[in-house]
Amino acid sequence: IINFNPGPAKIDPSVLLRAQAEILNFQQLGISVMEMSHRSADFAKILNGAKATLTQLLNIPENYKILFLQGGATAQFSAVPLNLLQRSPNCSADYIVTGTWSAKAVKEAQKYGKVHIVHQPLEKYSRVPEQEEFDLDPEAAYVYYCDNETVNGVEFSYVPDTGNVPLVADMSSNILSKPVDVSKFGIILAGAQKNIGCAGVTLAIIREDLVGYCMKQCPTILDYKIQIGMDSLYNTPPSYSIYLMGLVLEWIQNTGGLLSMAKKCVLKSQLVYSAINESNGFYSCAIEDGSRSRMNVTFRIDGPAGDSELENAFIEESKAANMIGLKGHRSVGGIRASLYNAVTLEETQFLVNLMMDFQRRHS
Ligand code: PLP
């Protein structure tokens, strides 16, 4: 099976085989990680190991804390405003909205304070705005954006410059697919189930000085200060998901680190975008060049509006060829190929072969 699912998504088989080998008897302890006390020294080694590998991979500076949380990136849409809004005299934050997920984050933040969208509305989320288009408030508590919009297939190719206002990034669908200068960010958030493991754990990398402004009505579980004070162990953490993330992080490290992941992501996505560009309009991608995602390639078949019959036929043919997860998100339709770190170049080539063959037979 070639797995193009948008998340939960493919995990490299070598990682799953290692988890399989260790599932009943982890490091001769006679029990599974699933059965281990989260307050034991053995689990502390797993948690600290994952933090250490992540710190090396992303070169995380000392003034940042790493948290492993529950509730998905969705819970963080609330945690961010609850923890940070009070840093602003007007209880206000700036948001950049480039797709479905950043729009959802706005809705949550509006429950707790003022939200200012810092650019003109983007028609159909077909591009990332330029830095010059931003009207930033120097008194905002933070500026929020989504580095890769999974549903729409829109990805930033630059880090927005927000001056002294901390930048909060949702990197759920492109974390660890490229080197990132962590010092440019106040907070980086990412659910694990696309690029760094299985569902259940959400990563938060938080600059220390942003902690301590939490609203008093914030649920304890979402309070960064408490989570940092308890080293992600305020309550029972998603221990197996943290273990699996640790294995994926080691796999990334052993396969060349972030530079190698970045090169591979460009090659894979270019293969698909070239097939689209060279199809004489049979395939079309609504996203402008320069904003096209390396992780989620979205396209329509037979014109920009898409022909749903042909698109369904493509999905059926892809399934018959053992390719799964290519149906576009229900809100936008069309086709979406998610090319996260674990998807190989060869697998991507299979998709491109199908695209070319399908075009020959249907155009
Ligand atoms: N942000 C992005 C960019 C996503 O792709 C997703 C899920 O697909 C989410 C947030 C929500 O994540 P979760 O379902 O883990 O809450």
Tokens read off for 88: 């602003």
State pLDDT tens for residues 4-48: 999 999 999 999 999 999 999 999 999 999 999 999 999 999 999
pLDDT in tens, 95-122: 999 999 999 999 999 999 999 999 998 8
Ligand 1 mean position to 304 CA, how many Å? 26
The reply to whether ligand 1 has any atom less than 6 angstroms from the CB of 338 is no
Are 285 and 298 within 8 A, CB to CB? yes
- Alpha-carbon radius of gyration of the chain: 21
Given this model, what pLDDT does residue 198 score?
Answer: 98
In what helix (H) or strand (E) does residue 93 lie, and over which residues does it extend?
Answer: strand 92-95
- Boundary residue ending a domain (223, 254, 285): 254
Q: List the residue whose alpha carbon is closest to atom 3 of ligand 1.
A: 172
Domain of 358 in residue numbering reads as 257-362
Q: Whose CA is nearest to atom 14 of ligand 1?
A: 72
One domain for residues 162 and 87: yes
Q: Residue 230: pLDDT above 90? A: yes
Structural domain count of the chain: 2
Which of 254, 269, 294 is at the close of a domain? Answer: 254
Does residue 235 fall inside a structural domain?
yes
Q: Which atom of ligand 1 is nearest to the CA of 76?
A: 16
How far apart CA 140 and CA 114 sit, in angstroms, is 9
Cα 248 to ligand 1 centre (Å)? 19
What share of the chain in percent tops pLDDT 70? Answer: 100
Phi (first) and psi of residue 341, to 5 degrees: -50, -35
Find the CATH number of the domain harbouring 69.
3.40.640.10
Task: Find out whether the beta carbon of 160 lies less than 6 Å from any atom of ligand 1.
Answer: no
In ligand 1, the atom with minimum distance to the C-alpha of 202 is 15
| CA neighbor of 323 nearest in space, from 338, 305, 308 | 338
Q: Locate the ligand 1 atom nearest the alpha carbon of residue 146 and give its number.
A: 3
Catalytic residues: 101, 170, 194
Helices (H), 59-158: 72-84, 100-109
Give 46-91 pLDDT, tens digit per residue: 999 999 999 999 999 999 999 999 999 999 999 999 999 999 999 9
**Residue 117 forms part of a structural domain:** yes
Q: How many angstroms separate the alpha carbon of residue 202 from the centre of ligand 1?
A: 10
Last residue of a domain, one of 200, 229, 254: 254
Distance 242 CA to ligand 1 centre (A): 17
3-state secondary structure 186-229: CEEEEECCCCCCCCCCEEEEEEHHHCCCCCCCCCHHHCHHHHHH
The contacts of residue 266 (CB under 8 Å, 6+ apart) are 294
Which atom of ligand 1 sits closest to the CA of residue 149? 3
- CA 78 to ligand 1 centroid distance, Å: 13
- The answer to whether residue 306 is domain-embedded is yes
| Most ligand 1 atoms within 8 A of CB, residue of 148, 150, 222, 295 to mutate | 150
1: pLDDT strictly greater than 90: yes
Residue 2 lies in a domain: no
CATH classification at residue 264: 3.90.1150.10
Q: Find out whether the beta carbon of 125 lies less than 6 Å from any atom of ligand 1.
A: no
Tokens of 186: 């106040």
